[in-house]
Structure 1
C-alpha cells in the first residue's frame, strides 16, 4: 500500500511540474506569403557563378583576420515580374571553426589551413552565413546585377599552403 501511495505521489508531482513547463510566457506571429512571382536566377544550380580567387602567398596573412585576393562577383536575376521590387540573398555553407562570417574550405587532399572565405555585400559589410544581405532593388525589364565580394581571410596565426576552394549555395527572398 505504501508503494502505491509513493508511486501515485511521484506521478502527481511529475504532472504538476509538467504543467509549469507548458506555461505560456509569450507569443510570436509569423507572417509571409508564397508567390509565383520570382525572377529567373541565371546563376542557378546547373550554372553556378565561378569566382577565381587566384594564387595567394601564405605571407599575405601576417595576422589573424588579414584578408587577401578580394574579387567582385555578380549574381544575375532577370525577367523579374513587376510585383517584385527588391531581393535579399543569404549564402549558406560550412562555417570555419564555428565562425558563421567565414566559409570553410572544402576538405580535400593537402587543403590549405588557417584560412577561409568571407563574402561581403554591395555595402562592403561582411555577411554571416544564412543571414540575408541588404535589399537589392530590382527592375522588371532589365538584368539585375547583385554584386558581392569574396576574399580569403586568415583564421589562425599559422597558415599552410594548399588548395583553397569552397562552395556556397544561396537563397533569394523577394520583396
Structure 2
C-alpha cells in the first residue's frame, strides 16, 4: 500500500509540474502569412545589384535650426529607388520595410554608424510617397506591373537634427530592407 501511495503521489506531482507552464500564459499570438510561388527581382542600380550607396552630400551644421529640423528643409531629401523587375502576375502590390539601428531608440531616424569622429546630434530620416517612414514598419503600397516591366519604388533620405547640438564629422548609416508582397 505504501508503494502504491508513493507511486500515486509521484504521478500526481508529475502531472502538476508538467501543467504549470500552461497555466502561466498571459496571452496568445497567432502568426499568419502566406508562402507565394514567386517574387519580383530586386534591382538597385539597373544592373541587378542588391547593395546601393545613397550619396547624401556635405551638409553644413548651420543648416540645422533646432531639434526636428532637416538640412535645407523638405526639398533637401535625397531620392533613391528600389527597382522590382520580372514580377509574376500573382503579385500586384509591394510594401518595403527598412530595418536598422534607430537613433537613441527613436524609430523615425537611423542612427549614424559609429566611427572615428562621427557627427553627433543628427540621424537619417526615410520617407516614401506617403510621408515619413519609420524603421521596422511597412511603406505605403506600391502598385506593380507584371512581366518585363520595371517597377520603380521611390524613397527619400535626409538628415534630421535629433539633439540640441550638432557636431561635424562622418554622417553615414546602414539599413537593410525587405520587400513584402
Q: TM-score range by the shorter chain?
A: 0.7 to 0.9
Alignment match, 2:40: 39
Structure 1 unmatched runs, 5+: 1-11
User: Matched residues in 1 for 2:21 and 2:90: separation?
Assistant: 47
Partner residue, 2:130: 123
1:68-107 map, 5 Å: 68=71, 69-107=76-114
Measure, in 2, the Cα distance between the counterparts of 1:27 and 1:93: 28
- Structure 2 gaps of 5+ residues are 1-12
Q: Quote the offset at 1:23 in angstroms.
A: 5.8
Distance in 1 (CA, whole Å) between partners of 2:29 and 2:113 is 38
Q: CA RMSD in A?
A: 2.2
Within a 5 Å distance, the mapping from 1:43-58 to structure 2 comes to 43=44, 47-58=50-61
Q: Mark the CA change 1:62 to 1:83 in structure 2 (over 3 Å): closer, same or farther.
A: same
The TM-score with structure 2 as length reference comes to 0.79
Quick one: structure 1 residues 109 and 21, their matched pair in 2 at CA, closer, same or farther if it must change by over 3 Å? Answer: same
Q: Using a 3 Å threshold, how does the CA distance of structure 1 residues 110 and 19 change in structure 2: closer, same or farther? A: same
The alignment status of 1:133 with 2:139, answered yes or no, reads: yes
Normalising by structure 1, what TM-score?
Answer: 0.82
How far is 1:20 from its partner? 9.3
**Separation of aligned partners in 2, 1:139 and 1:80:** 7
Moved over 4 A (4+): 18-21, 23-28
